Amino acid sequence: MSLVSGIAIVEEQLQQLREQGLGDESATRIWVSDEVFRRLRLRSLQAAREATRPVAATTYARLLLERQGVLPATDGSPALFASTSPGVYEGVDGVMRVIEQLAGVGLPASLWESQILPARVRDYSSEMLDELLATGAVIWSGQKKLGEDDGLVALHLQEYAAESFTPAEADQANRSALQQAIVAVLADGGAWFAQQISQRIRDKIGESVDLSALQEALWALVWQGVITSDIWAPLRALTRSSSNARTSTRRSHRLVVDVLSMRNPSRRWYLTTHQIWLDAGRYCRWSH
């Protein structure tokens, strides 16, 4: 029997099965028994359901913490929160990694150094964030005021700040004369001490500027996302000012003046508009 005749016999038998309803023929002429096809389909559906079955809530929570660098990755051990030390990352590079993950996310200023960074960087210290800000590698921007002593603040990698920074929608016409004067001074370029801003405004309008009024105007612009500083110290002083005010109003006032004074030479203010994001690192480096 030739090969051709053998194929013809198989084709004839398959055609008879199809006519009896015992077989099916696909577009590629692959034949299979109805019963076998049903079993294949059932098993495929079972495998698909198994692959898409949701994991336990604790497993999902663990995955989120691992992705955020709060807990180390595990091999599926049931010991859910067995990490003995907080944070997966270390050093300045670890802080950079966290900022990369959370770039542009507005979180309370009071939480960045008390919970967010220490929970992810095991050896975190405030000097690490200050170093990144002072060199221009990282920039912070205000997003919204929260009460009198806090606000939403986002951190950005300078290299990608134009992508993660979203300027607040503010009506420029509703800005006070002092706020407009501050923006005009900073629009000339560079980063300036608060006392220098005050001096330049005085030169323009011929009147001295009250420090408390200047502070209020600066923070209003901060929460509009218009200006920022090359160090985190103003935010530290702001978030601590409430407790200091409760214990000593005079001491709290000294903190405010200290934030604005030239006794802290690295605390400069500059614009955070899209037009100067690429130059912000250069502005910060002028102080070094």
Contact, 122 vs 237, CB < 8 A?
A: no
pLDDT of residue 275: 42
Concatenating the DSSP letter of every residue in 62-128 gives: HHHHHHTTSS---SS-S-TT--SSS-SB-HHHHHHHHHHHTTT--EEHHHIIIIIHHHHBTT--HHH
Q: What is the pLDDT of residue 255?
A: 45
- In the prediction, which pLDDT does 171 show? 66
Domain edges within the chain? 91-241+264-281
Residues of the chain with pLDDT under 70: 1-6, 21-29, 75-85, 168-171, 241-266, 274-288
- Of 124, 113, 58, 128, the closest CA to residue 86 belongs to 124
**Dihedral of the alpha carbons of 161, 162, 163, 164, in degrees to the nearest 10:** 40
E strand or H helix that includes residue 23: strand 23-25
Intra-chain end-to-end CA distance of the chain, in Å: 94
pLDDT of residue 265: 45
Of 82, 69, 83, 160, residue with least CA distance to 118: 69
The pLDDT value recorded for residue 173 is 72
pTM of the shown model: 0.68
Cα(217)–Cα(31) distance, integer angstroms: 80
151 by DSSP, 3-state: which? strand
What pLDDT, on a 0 to 100 scale, did the predictor assign at position 125? 94
List all residues 6 or more positions away from 223 whose beta carbon is below 8 Å from its beta carbon. 142, 143, 144, 145, 151, 168
